[in-house]
Structure 1
Amino acid sequence: MTTAEDLATRVREGDLRIHELEDHADHDTAAAARRLVLEAETGVDLETIADYSFPAAEAEPNVENMIGAAQVPMGVVGPATVDGGAADGEYYLPLATTEGALLASVNRGLSVIGTAGGATARVTKNGMTRAPVFRVEGVAEAAETVEWVDENRDALAEAAESTTSHGELLGVEPYVVGDSVFLRFAYDTKDAMGMNMATIATAAACEVVEEETPASLVALSGNMCSDKKPAAINAIEGRGRSVTADVVISGELVEERLHTTPEAIAEANTRKNLTGSAKAGALGFNAHAANVVAAAFLATGQDEAQVVEAANTITTMDARKREDGGSDLYASVSLASLEVGTVGGGTKLPTQSEALEILGLRGGGDPAGSNADALAEVIAVGALAGELSLLGALSSRHLASAHEELGR
């Protein structure tokens, strides 16, 4: 039987390359051999990295050259009381992070939201995008290509949907820049985040475009998608799920639990999240929505690089006058591009699968897409709670003292 020591020796002698080890042993032995090579090369003890709880073979679709696992502390907040289009009831939301005080802050916000009767959340738009770029000779050929695309959506849908049993082409939006033609395909990918699904489907559609128009494909992704990069098109048109959550909190509850007033929170939001973000040239107008999204992504097996699009969030806070002379706080978050799924990718890993089970949202929903919609709505309510808590701390000037008290 081939041992990790045997494989490590062969790597050091140049007989094997480090990415070839799974061809000669099981996945766990291959990972152990890589650790031996690294320990010999660096002098670092990799005992903790080696301490993972799942068979390495289960991670094969998610990582190459595996040596172990990165353990991020995971906590839970909640219950999050959600009146959603797909989510309905109370949910405990697992969050994985290394930022002290984050979960305490989100939990405070969720407690306030729960006391106020819960938050409302809705997915308002759904479409995973892929935007190839084509070369043409000039504007005339660009116009010819765009015209053909506009008149032949059914042919493109047939080609794209032939590659998947679940994906549905929702539309194709053309953009022309000189002799470049970008086609932004949008898909309903049901409960999958759907990036791979959209890519494979779009490749099939591109073959039809090349056959029927003067356009030649240059790149299957032309960055008009736009994946894992700050982009105004995602902030405006959305990508993945566009989801909004809101809540109305009485002024008395704001004063009792957040130790400030609706007017003070609204002013802090306007001056910080709106004016300050505009002055900075930001695409997102929020306090720290990506904080909650990132922690939820790590816990539930989402593509963590897509947190950058979630930072597009816009937070609104308004003081609403009541007839009795008091005021209530209206609070909302709108996440234009939240790319989440409950099947595929990292959601299949054991830890992340358990986290989705805590939410009751592991796997495909009935109807298809409902689990991913519900996950988006719960995350949005978590982000709303985080915004409420942080703006409350800022407007009451308790932010620094809260961190000091928690020893962070």
Structure 2
Amino acid sequence: MTDAATLAERVRAGELRLYELEDHADADTAAAARRLLLAAEPGVDLETIGEYAFPAERAESNVENMIGATQVPLGVAGPLPVDGEAASGSVYLPLATTEGALVASVNRGAGAIRAAGGASTTVLQRGMTRAPVFETSDVREAAAVADWVRGSLDRLADAAESTTSHGELREATPYVVGDSVFVRFVYDTKDAMGMNMATIATRAAADVIESETPASMVAVSGNLCTDKKPAGINAIEGRGRSVAADVVLPADATEDRFGTTPEAIAEVNTRKNLLGSAKAASLGFNAHVANVVGAAFLALGQDVAQVVEGAHAITSVEAREDGLYVSVTLPALAVGTVGGGTGLPTQSEALEIIGLAGGGDPPGTNGDALAEVLAAGALAGELSLLGALAGRHLASAHAEHGR
């Protein structure tokens, strides 16, 4: 095998390309060679990037042209008591972030949830989507293709499910736009987030549509999925897991924890999360759900770009006779406990902290449990921030924690 310095020199000389280095050395040596190549520039020091604690080959399915690893500070919030249909008990929620005060905020919200006896959670539905677009000759032909799709779910399911041992096709809904036909396929992908599974299965189903109708596929993703972009269809129809969490915090606990009243927190939610979001034409009506989802995604090996959909959350708050009612509903939380980044060593360890590494028994239960835990974490974050705003101590909290 070739050493790192020789490989770097061969890249400089144009004999090798960056992506070819693993053909001539093991993954760690290839990464070291790339660091040597980059560090030749004045002022570049990659010593810390090169100090990672797992074999580079463990990341071969997750990254190309690897040079090392980025380390993000990792904290935990909790214990967070969750009373769900898939998740049950108290957990510590790992959060990877560079934003001071975030973990402290979620931790304070978790404390309030403990005082209330725990958060109730439930998965409302699950379904990963992929929506190819087909071209036809005119609108009448497009309508005929759409009719064929509506009556052929069983045939499409047979083709799609032949590509996977776990995924199940639940829906195939056609949408006509002129001479274009979009078909939004919805899959139960069990414990996997399942985007790749859905793409492969949809390609097989699209072959059937092309063979049985005049339609010709233009792209396996036509953006009606919708993947990693703000979209009303995800906020309404859902994507991944649709999950909700709620809690009732007694009035005295509200005042003790946040120095304010249920009525004041409810007013902040109405004027900020509801009216302010409506005026801004937001797809999410919440305080900072993306903060918790993003930090948890980094820690737990989820696809970070899916935070876009994960932020389409609605937070509702009511001042009731028995205290403060707070709920958060996340319609499009794309999560899984197998596949993707969940197999990376640090992310796998973080999943072990909450007891959800690997597949569930029966399949899908671990993915559901993870969604419920993250919904409870988002609830803790919403409760804490709304309390800080109502109590007017948000700025002092950020100052104390370095932000």
Give TM-score scaled by structure 1 length: 0.98
In 2, Cα distance between the equivalents of 1:52 and 1:190? 31
In 2, Cα distance between the equivalents of 1:176 and 1:78? 48
Of residues 335, 339, 355, the one that matches 1:344 is 339
Check if 1:403 corresponds to 2:398.
yes
In 2, Cα distance between the equivalents of 1:97 and 1:195? 25
Q: Find the counterpart in structure 1 of residue 230 from structure 2.
A: 230
In 2, Cα distance between the equivalents of 1:406 and 1:336? 31
In 2, Cα distance between the equivalents of 1:240 and 1:213? 29
Q: Find the counterpart in structure 2 of residue 390 from structure 1.
A: 385
Q: Find the counterpart in structure 1 of residue 352 from structure 2.
A: 357
The 3-state SS of whatever aligns with 1:15 is coil
In 2, Cα distance between the equivalents of 1:245 and 1:54? 36
In 1, Cα distance between the equivalents of 2:224 and 2:150? 18
Show CA shifts across 1:207-239 (max 9, x none).
000000111100000000000000000000000
* 1:7-406 matches, cutoff 5 A: 7-322=7-322, 328-406=323-401
The 3-state SS of whatever aligns with 1:41 is coil
Fraction of identical pairs, as percent: 72
In 1, Cα distance between the equivalents of 2:42 and 2:366? 44
In 1, Cα distance between the equivalents of 2:220 and 2:376? 35
In 2, Cα distance between the equivalents of 1:404 and 1:354? 32
1:404 Cα shift? 1.6
In 2, Cα distance between the equivalents of 1:158 and 1:125? 22
1:163 Cα shift? 0.1
In 2, Cα distance between the equivalents of 1:138 and 1:48? 58
In 2, Cα distance between the equivalents of 1:188 and 1:201? 12
Residue identity in the other structure for 1:213: T
In 1, Cα distance between the equivalents of 2:88 and 2:101? 28
1:240 Cα shift? 0.1
1:152 Cα shift? 1.0
1:43 Cα shift? 3.6
1:42 Cα shift? 4.8
- My pick for the range that moved more, 53-62 or 145-154, is 145-154
Show CA shifts across 1:320-353 (max 9, x none).
135xxxxx11100000000000000100000000
In 1, Cα distance between the equivalents of 2:53 and 2:270? 46
The 3-state SS of whatever aligns with 2:40 is helix
Q: Provide closer, same or farther for how the CA distance between residues 103 and 149 of structure 1 changes in structure 2, counting only shifts above 3 A.
A: same
Q: Provide closer, same or farther for how the CA distance between residues 42 and 310 of structure 1 changes in structure 2, counting only shifts above 3 A.
A: farther
Q: Find the counterpart in structure 2 of residue 325 from structure 1.
A: none
1:309 Cα shift? 0.5
Residue identity in the other structure for 1:268: V
In 2, Cα distance between the equivalents of 1:2 and 1:149? 55
In 1, Cα distance between the equivalents of 2:106 and 2:354? 16
In 2, Cα distance between the equivalents of 1:106 and 1:76? 9
The 3-state SS of whatever aligns with 1:117 is coil
In 1, Cα distance between the equivalents of 2:104 and 2:208? 53
In 1, Cα distance between the equivalents of 2:42 and 2:200? 40
Matched length: 403
In 2, Cα distance between the equivalents of 1:43 and 1:18? 21
In 1, Cα distance between the equivalents of 2:22 and 2:381? 43
1:138 Cα shift? 1.2
The 3-state SS of whatever aligns with 2:51 is coil
Q: RMSD between aligned alpha carbons?
A: 0.7
Q: Find the counterpart in structure 1 of residue 3 from structure 2.
A: 3
In 2, Cα distance between the equivalents of 1:402 and 1:37? 43
Residue identity in the other structure for 2:368: D
1:127 Cα shift? 0.2
Unaligned runs of 5+ in 1: 323-327
In 2, Cα distance between the equivalents of 1:189 and 1:407? 41
In 2, Cα distance between the equivalents of 1:192 and 1:45? 38
Show CA shifts across 1:248-304 (max 9, x none).
111111001111110000000000000000101110000000100000000000000
The 3-state SS of whatever aligns with 1:287 is coil
